[in-house]
Amino acid sequence: MTAEEKKTENAEAASEQQVNEATEAREVKTEIAEQPAEAAKEPKADKKPKVQLSDKMESLIKTVEEMSVLELSGLVKALEDHFGVSAAAPVAIAAAGVAGAAAGGAEVEEKTVFNVILAEVGSQKIQVIKEIRALTSLGLKEAKDLVEAAPKEIKTDITKEEADKIMKQLEAVGAKIELK
């Protein structure tokens, strides 16, 4: 193993440890915030750490606990720059968790209802009028007026499949169609 590989491995281990410590610190803050006010006033001496920590590690944890989220973010970036590593995966997971909680579980829904809009008639106006009549229940004059008034809605609140079918038929005769 080369010196460069050892340095990278050490940097990754240090970065991972710091991210884990920051996560633990956030969990401790959450636990403290969830406790009743009286329980928060009790001394923490009766709680024993799960892992034997050195004095340096304990002071580091205390320092991290006192930092704001912005300061922690800056610390992570500084460590990444200093050691030439990236903590993208743990940060992305944490950010996704925060974003999911902030969104309240709202999901982005795929659009299921469409409006077909005749944007431009093209060079085959008569053929477009015939297709409009075939696709709708409009008479010749109404279909002609609709085509001449482009951009105009042809059909509203239809499924994706029906909208695609209409779009293909009208584009085959030279019209430009928009789906909204």
Residue boundaries of the structural domains of the chain: 3-103, 114-179
As a whole number of angstroms, the distance between CA 34 and CA 143 comes to: 66
As a whole number of angstroms, the distance between CA 109 and CA 87 comes to: 31
- The counts of H helices and E strands in the chain are 8, 3
Torsion of CA 95, 97, 102, 103, to 10 degrees: 110
Q: Span 114-179: which CATH code?
A: 3.30.1390.10
H/E stretch holding 165 reads: helix 160-172
CB 27 within 8 A of CB 97: no
pLDDT for position 10: 65
CB 143 within 8 A of CB 133: yes
As a whole number of angstroms, the distance between CA 150 and CA 94 comes to: 49
pLDDT for position 70: 86
Torsion of CA 76, 82, 88, 93, to 10 degrees: -20
Torsion of CA 125, 131, 134, 137, to 10 degrees: -50
Give φ, ψ of 26 to 5 degrees: -65, -40
pLDDT for position 92: 47
pLDDT in tens, the chain (180 residues): 676 666 666 666 666 666 667 667 666 566 665 555 555 455 555 566 577 888 888 898 899 889 888 888 888 888 888 887 776 554 445 455 555 555 554 555 677 788 889 888 888 889 989 988 988 888 999 989 988 988 888 888 888 888 889 889 888 998 888 888
pTM above 0.85, yes or no: no
